[in-house]
A and B are shown apart, each in its own frame.
Chain A
């Protein structure tokens, strides 16, 4: 079976700093990583390959700088990597992104039919969880989001059973392939790259697909031009109108600070007082 994993290279959000005066992102020195949620998608695909054989292609839309993310996926065991990259893809929102990735998967499907597409549940930079469903709808694939476990795959019958995290419980769903699955974090234990894997990743050729290679039919649907949403404003948070009341703190006498705070809460915050009074011994 041919499995495609869609991944994204993202800035490591733990290292993002905002310029205190201009409120702009300071990009210098922020390391780029594979979106952490996507690692669970890669692992799920590789486990199916270990179990059933077949081929795993990893794909990403992004600038040429995103190549290391694809090499990382190869080092883990993916067979091939495709970077869908073209200047006109820049500025895409989720709708335009799903159009490009769906077009590329359709093109790849002609080389070797695709049975499953995996994505992470969302990215850590956009946090939208919209691209996976978008690709599934455009390719008319069955969509299984927030999958916590793949129970059973039968390539001959084109049948798959999964556990899906729903509100208040877990759904056990059966569907027909081709299907698109977004994997939940923690759904599997991610493997480490092997030394041969790392050598292979260093030598591997990452295929670059531009708009023609990816089979884009309508360039009005890609990039900024193909995006229905625009960011009209980026801004920092506003401080509360009233300044915080300062509770003086003396390291040699923490108890009086604590007593001071309690007194403020009881005198100035009626809702807090009510909650505390309800909790006094005997009244709860």
Chain B
């Protein structure tokens, strides 16, 4: 779950590939784009793909799909900036908007034609929809929502680590005698690589042979979301988050107060959301959003894995909890053992005074 080397030895299981599977070579990243924009998770995966491809000494390939035109070409070029050596350009008017059927057909054909050993997709609604369909069609293994990716140096196998049992433990999953090895990874779990605008690569066109008449599902309309500040949470530089340790719904106000003074976004644990203290779009964790702020203040949060995987990439974690044995103190940078109800207002006051912001003492 972090860069810390593990102490327990990995149980060794010899994975021997059939002759025809040995032809599968290379690491692929599916470049997810909808309505002209590449989802940033694709570039985050490109960074991971680069690292693993170098380790395996193979090419890193991007797969860019969509309607033919300058937008798609821009995505291909951008894939090189983020680390791809080669980009498969799959252009067809049928691929203008995401629909499961044509995308599954095109990606399946491409995999069968060019045989990658690893294929990554973002764990978005699009990526999960597509990955599940492609893996079943190819009859291969798929690991969802990975938090760490590594290569077994002995047999070149992908070791994909993800939370398990509702986020209470971690497990490492390997794919047996099947290729490609597929995995999805959530947005913001991996760092965004620095783009290198001078980097170039090879564009390879692939003709998917799709005909609109044979596609059953039709897109009638698309209603874009109203932009709203909750979408800022994954990118916030300061996050104040609350958990069940706050005791009751009213105390969540103290989290909002501190966040207000700091100009921070508010996050919450699954338990706080299930308790109805705050709306689900504020959830940080395996089944919520992943954040990577400079400062994460965790108030009344115990630090279960399900939450930890969504925030442990924060540069600085301040944990406030009245239970000195809470797991969050194992990975926080600053530990404050105390009751949030008295700590939070004091912090709000201290930050307000440092920042020169008005602060009204609670009565």
Q: Which residues of A contact B (CB under 8 A)?
A: 11, 13-14, 16-18, 23, 25, 93-95, 98, 124-134, 136-138, 142-146, 161, 165-176, 186, 227-241, 244-247, 249, 251, 254-255, 257-259, 261-262, 264-265, 269, 271-272, 274-276, 279-282, 284
Contact across chains for B139 and A95 when beta carbons are under 8 A apart: yes
Q: With A167-B124, A269-B315 in contact, do A172 and B308 touch (Cβ < 8 Å)? A: no
| Distance between A263 CB and nearest chain B CB, rounded to angstroms | 10
Whole-angstrom CA separation of A269 from B334 in the bound complex: 11
Contact across chains for B294 and A275 when beta carbons are under 8 A apart: yes
Contact across chains for A280 and B355 when beta carbons are under 8 A apart: yes
Query: Which residues of chain A come closer than 8 Å to B333, judged between CB atoms?
Result: 240, 244-245, 269
Q: List 6 A-B contacts (CB under 8 A).
A: A16-B165, A125-B165, A137-B104, A231-B173, A246-B337, A258-B350
| Distance between B150 CB and nearest chain A CB, rounded to angstroms | 11
Within 8 A of A (CB), among B163-207: 163-178
| Distance between A170 CB and nearest chain B CB, rounded to angstroms | 5
Contact across chains for B316 and A234 when beta carbons are under 8 A apart: no
Interface string of B226-237 (1 = CB under 8 A from A): 000000000001
Whole-angstrom CA separation of A131 from B101 in the bound complex: 17
Whole-angstrom CA separation of A253 from B78 in the bound complex: 54
| Residue from the list A124, A161, A230, A282 in contact with B220, Cβ < 8 A | A161
| Residue from the list B37, B141, B222, B294 in contact with A272, Cβ < 8 A | B294
Query: Which residues of chain B come closer than 8 Å to A282, judged between CB atoms?
Result: 356
Report the interface size for chain B: residues with CB under 8 A from the other chain.
106
For B133, give the chain A residue with the smallest CB separation: A133
Q: With A269-B316, A272-B316 in contact, do A259 and B350 touch (Cβ < 8 Å)? A: yes
| Residue from the list B98, B136, B329 in contact with A98, Cβ < 8 A | B136
Query: Which residues of chain A come closer than 8 Å to B286, judged between CB atoms?
Result: 127
Query: Which residues of chain B come closer than 8 Å to A257, judged between CB atoms?
Result: 336, 338, 343, 346
Contact across chains for B171 and A235 when beta carbons are under 8 A apart: yes
Q: Which residues of B contact A (CB under 8 A)?
A: 1-2, 4, 6, 8, 10-11, 13, 32, 34-35, 37, 39, 97-101, 104, 124-126, 128-129, 131-133, 135-137, 139-145, 159, 163-178, 216-225, 237-238, 262-263, 271, 274, 280, 286-287, 294-295, 305-306, 308, 315-316, 318-319, 327, 329-339, 342-343, 345-347, 349-351, 354-357
Q: With A230-B176, A232-B173 in contact, do A169 and B225 touch (Cβ < 8 Å)? A: yes
**Which of A146, A228, A238, A261 has the most chain B CB atoms closer than 10 A to its own CB?**
A228
Contact across chains for B100 and A145 when beta carbons are under 8 A apart: yes
Whole-angstrom CA separation of A272 from B168 in the bound complex: 30
Query: Which residues of chain A come closer than 8 Å to B169, judged between CB atoms?
Result: 18, 23, 25, 234-236
Query: Which residues of chain A come closer than 8 Å to B32, judged between CB atoms?
Result: 167
Contact across chains for B346 and A233 when beta carbons are under 8 A apart: no
Query: Which residues of chain A come closer than 8 Å to B1, judged between CB atoms?
Result: 237-238
Contact across chains for B219 and A254 when beta carbons are under 8 A apart: no
Query: Which residues of chain B come closer than 8 Å to A232, judged between CB atoms?
Result: 10-11, 13, 159, 172-174
Contact across chains for B11 and A233 when beta carbons are under 8 A apart: yes
| Residue from the list B101, B164, B173, B330 in contact with A142, Cβ < 8 A | B101
Contact across chains for A258 and B11 when beta carbons are under 8 A apart: no
Query: Which residues of chain A come closer than 8 Å to B271, judged between CB atoms?
Result: 14
9 residue pairs, one from A and one from B, having the closest CB atoms = A13-B166, A133-B132, A228-B141, A254-B346, A281-B356, A249-B338, A258-B350, A239-B330, A229-B141
| Distance between B233 CB and nearest chain A CB, rounded to angstroms | 15
For B322, give the chain A residue with the smallest CB separation: A249
| Residue from the list B129, B316, B355 in contact with A146, Cβ < 8 A | B129
Contact across chains for B141 and A258 when beta carbons are under 8 A apart: no
| Distance between A20 CB and nearest chain B CB, rounded to angstroms | 9
Contact across chains for B355 and A281 when beta carbons are under 8 A apart: yes
Q: With A146-B125, A272-B315, A275-B237 in contact, do A137 and B133 touch (Cβ < 8 Å)? A: yes
For B100, give the chain A residue with the smallest CB separation: A143
Contact across chains for B6 and A251 when beta carbons are under 8 A apart: no
Query: Which residues of chain B come closer than 8 Å to A145, judged between CB atoms?
Result: 100, 125, 128-129
| Residue from the list A11, A94, A254 in contact with B166, Cβ < 8 A | A11
Whole-angstrom CA separation of A281 from B223 in the bound complex: 39
For A284, give the chain B residue with the smallest CB separation: B263
Whole-angstrom CA separation of A185 from B319 in the bound complex: 31
| Distance between A132 CB and nearest chain B CB, rounded to angstroms | 7
Contact across chains for A235 and B97 when beta carbons are under 8 A apart: no
Contact across chains for A228 and B144 when beta carbons are under 8 A apart: no
Contact across chains for A176 and B216 when beta carbons are under 8 A apart: yes
Query: Which residues of chain A come closer than 8 Å to B219, judged between CB atoms?
Result: 171-173
| Residue from the list B99, B173, B331 in contact with A173, Cβ < 8 A | B99
Contact across chains for A129 and B34 when beta carbons are under 8 A apart: no
Query: Which residues of chain B come closer than 8 Å to A176, judged between CB atoms?
Result: 216
Query: Which residues of chain A come closer than 8 Å to B223, judged between CB atoms?
Result: 169-170, 172
| Distance between A239 CB and nearest chain B CB, rounded to angstroms | 4
Query: Which residues of chain B come closer than 8 Å to A247, judged between CB atoms?
Result: 334-336
Whole-angstrom CA separation of A128 from B160 in the bound complex: 13
Give me 5 other A-B pairs in contact (C-beta within 8 A), A244-B332, A246-B335 excluded.
Answer: A17-B168, A25-B168, A172-B222, A257-B338, A269-B315
| Residue from the list A229, A231, A261 in contact with B318, Cβ < 8 A | A261
Query: Which residues of chain B come closer than 8 Å to A245, judged between CB atoms?
Result: 333-335
| Distance between B179 CB and nearest chain A CB, rounded to angstroms | 9
Query: Which residues of chain B come closer than 8 Å to A239, judged between CB atoms?
Result: 4, 330-331
Whole-angstrom CA separation of A247 from B333 in the bound complex: 10
| Residue from the list B171, B217, B334 in contact with A231, Cβ < 8 A | B171
Query: Which residues of chain A come closer than 8 Å to B104, judged between CB atoms?
Result: 137
Whole-angstrom CA separation of A185 from B130 in the bound complex: 20
Whole-angstrom CA separation of A173 from B97 in the bound complex: 11
| Distance between A102 CB and nearest chain B CB, rounded to angstroms | 9
**Which of A124, A170, A237, A281 has the most chain B CB atoms closer than 10 A to its own CB?**
A237
Query: Which residues of chain A come closer than 8 Å to B171, judged between CB atoms?
Result: 231, 233-235
Q: With A95-B141, A249-B336 in contact, do A13 and B347 touch (Cβ < 8 Å)? A: no
